[in-house]
Amino acid sequence: MHHPQTHEDALAGLLVDLARDERLADDVTRAARVGDPEIARLPWEESRRHVDALLRAGFAAFTRDGEPDFAEADRFGAERAALGVPVAALLTGVHAGRSRVLEVAVSRGRAAGIPYDVMLHALLRLDRYGILLERRVVDAYRAAERDLGRDHREARIAVLRSLLLGEGREDTVADPARFGLRPGERYHCVVSDVADPAAARRLEQAFARCGGVLAPVAGRLSGLTPRLPADSPALTVCTPAVPVDQAPAAYALCLTTLRSVRDRGLTGLHSVVDLATETALAAQPLLATFLGEALLGALSPRDDFHRDLVATALAYLDHGQRLDRTADALHLHPNTVRYRLRRLQELTGLPDHPTVPETVRWWWALRSWPAETPEHRQRFMS
Contact of 137 with 90, CB cutoff 8 Å: yes
CA separation, residue 260 to residues 162, 272, 279, 368 (Å): 25, 11, 6, 12
Query: Looking at residue 211, what is its pLDDT?
Result: 86
C-alpha triplet 202, 203, 206: angle, nearest 5°: 85
As a whole number of angstroms, the distance between CA 206 and CA 190 comes to 13
Which parts of the chain sit beneath pLDDT 70? Answer: 1-12, 19, 35-36, 38, 41, 46, 57-58, 60-68, 82-84, 145, 147-152, 168-174, 371-382
Instruction: Give the number of other CB atoms < 10 A from CB of residue 159.
Output: 25
Q: Which residues contact 321 (CB under 8 A, 6 or more apart)?
A: 359
Query: Looking at residue 167, what is its pLDDT?
Result: 73
Query: Looking at residue 380, what is its pLDDT?
Result: 32
As a whole number of angstroms, the distance between CA 29 and CA 38 comes to 13
CA separation, residue 175 to residues 179, 219, 233 (Å): 8, 22, 29
Query: Looking at residue 372, what is its pLDDT?
Result: 43
Contact of 91 with 134, CB cutoff 8 Å: yes
What would the DSSP string read from start to end of 165-197? H-----SGGG-GGGGT--TTSEEEEEEE----H
As a whole number of angstroms, the distance between CA 237 and CA 189 comes to 8
As a whole number of angstroms, the distance between CA 126 and CA 101 comes to 9
What would the DSSP string read from start to end of 110-154? HHTT--HHHHHHHHHHHHHHHHHHHHHHHHHHHHHHHHH--SSHH
Helix (H), strand (E) at residue 51? helix 44-62
As a whole number of angstroms, the distance between CA 281 and CA 287 comes to 9
Query: Looking at residue 147, what is its pLDDT?
Result: 66
Query: Looking at residue 49, what is its pLDDT?
Result: 74
Mapped onto helix, strand or coil, the DSSP state of residue 271 is strand
Contact of 301 with 370, CB cutoff 8 Å: yes
